[in-house]
């Protein structure tokens, strides 16, 4: 079954490969349940600044443990924390577990800033949920660039710091 976001991608000339699978909520579940696909295996974190005035979609490799304190300094914000499910629904129109950079199509006000780890951006393709966590799309980096051009979102590529525990 084709999802509305898939038709949007087709209309914009963005090619993708699709795999359907049981619902996944974590990178570990995705490793287990998603068939092998090319592209960077990523996680998407929906963040907000201390006062909740700025919102960020952070895209990093699954294995990276992000140091939010240092990242806040890099992107010049006063403290970063996870945003609530309510904020996620309000700004990106998706449920927890389905966070994806494709949800930027729902951010018509451009209230969400996209931050992608340089390591992820160096990959030829990214794996993305199509606004639900029961499928994964593989989209080439130039397709992601086209998506951002169409949605009007700027891309900030940074060296996302790792947390050492």
CA–CA dist 44, 139 (Å, integer): 15
118: domain range? 4-158
Residue 117 domain-assigned? yes
- Contact (Cβ atoms closer than 8 angstroms) between residue 131 and residue 102: yes
Domain of residue 27, CATH code: 3.90.960.10
Q: Given a cut of 70, is residue 16 above it in pLDDT?
A: yes
List, for residues 52-110, the tens digit of each pLDDT value: 999 999 999 999 999 999 999 999 999 999 999 999 999 999 999 899 999 999 999 99
| Neighbouring residues of 6: CB distance < 8 A, sequence distance ≥ 6 | 16, 18, 130, 137
Residue 110 domain-assigned? yes
Overall pTM surpassing 0.85 (yes/no)? yes
As for how many domains the chain has, the answer is 1
Residue 163 domain-assigned? no
Residue 36 domain-assigned? yes
| Residues in the chain, total | 165
Residue 121 domain-assigned? yes
Residue 81 domain-assigned? yes
Residue 164 domain-assigned? no
DSSP 103: G
Q: State the pLDDT at residue 163.
A: 86
Q: What angle do CA 121, 122, 126 make, to 5 degrees?
A: 55
């Amino acid at each position: 079954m084709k999802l509305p976001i898939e038709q949007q991608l087709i209309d914009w000339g963005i090619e993708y490969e699709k795999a359907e699978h049981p619902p996944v909520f974590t990178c570990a579940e995705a490793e287990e349940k998603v068939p092998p696909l090319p592209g960077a295996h990523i996680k998407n974190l929906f963040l907000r600044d201390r006062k909740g005035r700025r919102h960020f979609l952070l895209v990093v490799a699954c294995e990276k443990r992000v140091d939010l304190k240092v990242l806040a300094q890099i992107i010049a914000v006063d403290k970063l924390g996870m945003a609530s499910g309510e904020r996620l629904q309000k700004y990106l129109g998706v449920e927890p577990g389905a966070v994806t950079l494709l949800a930027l199509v729902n951010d018509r006000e451009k209230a969400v800033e996209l931050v992608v780890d340089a390591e992820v951006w160096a990959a030829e393709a990214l794996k993305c949920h199509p606004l639900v966590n029961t499928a994964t799309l593989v989209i080439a980096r130039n397709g992601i660039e086209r998506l951002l051009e169409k949605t009007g979102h700027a891309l900030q590529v940074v060296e996302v710091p790792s947390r050492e525990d």
